[in-house]
Amino acid sequence: MPHTGYDARGGDIPPERYAVVSCHVERPLDDAVWEAFRRFQAGRPGGFRIAALVRPPDTAAAAGEAGAARAAVWLERARFASEHGPFGLHTHFGGREHGRARPGDPEPADRVRAELATLAGHGLAPRFFCGGNWYLDERVAGVLAAAGLADCTATAFTPRHLPAGAVRLALATPAWLRIAAPGGAGPVPGVPGVPAPPARLLELPTTHSLGMTARAALSPAAPRTLHCYFHDTDLVVPSRARALAVALAVLGRRRRPLDLDELAGVMASTAPEVCFGG
């Protein structure tokens, strides 16, 4: 079967070589950062519909009248991002400055459940998730599976800032993760001793940072599915913004640009099933 659409980009590109791009939208309430992200996402660099994985405002910081005004701005910007690409939730389990939970912070699964409920209350329906500082546990995975999201927290690389031994999910290629705690709820309520049936979470690992993407864009050795991520704050550092724009332009010519929704659609029927955590 001919693959229409490939010939225009170069007939030598194997059709199964995909690339997707997601952005951790960390500072949507910072006007300069937001404006840089808004323009970048709307411009579809390299032909990519960039997924916005957006961090909700801290509940504590959103209290009061000023907080309400900021919440309205956040909502308007989240809606814009969701209209220009796949939309996801990026949870910082320890608040704005802390991707991972610290002692005394809410239980991660409870935090995710609460943030999803808040987004739903505003009519926002995230399809994707990425845990702050690459944190995901099986209870969080259960909440995501129950809510029908796909996850992007697994990484194909070892994140630089994680201490040795920190909990993380290492995965190089998309997979269905079989999890034992659907909805994070544990056993079936009211049925002692009967575990809930296993649920599955579609995992679309993040495979390349900005720097790795720049190096991999030209490499035939890069994986079949390349998932590049960057931070919105990268876009206000001119050298990083330029490097990203160039890398995506090259990547978009060398691979088929998909968005996360399209990748999820492809992988839902073809990804293998593995147990959570290997």
Interface positions with Zn ion (CB under 5 A): 24, 26, 132
Question: Judged by CB, which is closer to Zn ion: 13, or 61?
Answer: 61
Q: For the chain, what is the HEC assignment?
A: CCCCCCCCCCCCCCCCCEEEEEEEECCCCCHHHHHHHHHHHHCCHHHCCCEEEECCCCCHHHCHHHHHHHHHHHHHHHHHHHHCCCEEEEECCCCCCCCCCCCCCCCHHHHHHHHHHHHHHCCCCCCEEEEHHHCCCHHHHHHHHHHCCEECCCECCCCCCCCCCCCCCECCCCEEEEECCHHHCCCCCCCCCCCCCCEEEEECCECECHHHHHHHCCCCCCCCEEEEEEEHHHHHCHHHHHHHHHHHHHHHHHCEECCHHHHHHHHHCCCCEEECCC
Question: Judged by CB, which is closer to Zn ion: 21, or 181?
Answer: 21
CB of 28 vs Zn ion, minimal distance in Å: 12
CB of 199 vs Zn ion, minimal distance in Å: 26
Question: Judged by CB, which is closer to Zn ion: 24, or 139?
Answer: 24
CB of 89 vs Zn ion, minimal distance in Å: 11
CB of 1 vs Zn ion, minimal distance in Å: 41
CB of 131 vs Zn ion, minimal distance in Å: 9
Question: Judged by CB, which is closer to Zn ion: 88, or 174?
Answer: 88
Question: Judged by CB, which is closer to Zn ion: 94, or 182?
Answer: 94
Please say whether the beta carbons of 31 and 68 come within 8 A. no
CB of 78 vs Zn ion, minimal distance in Å: 15
Question: Judged by CB, which is closer to Zn ion: 23, or 146?
Answer: 23
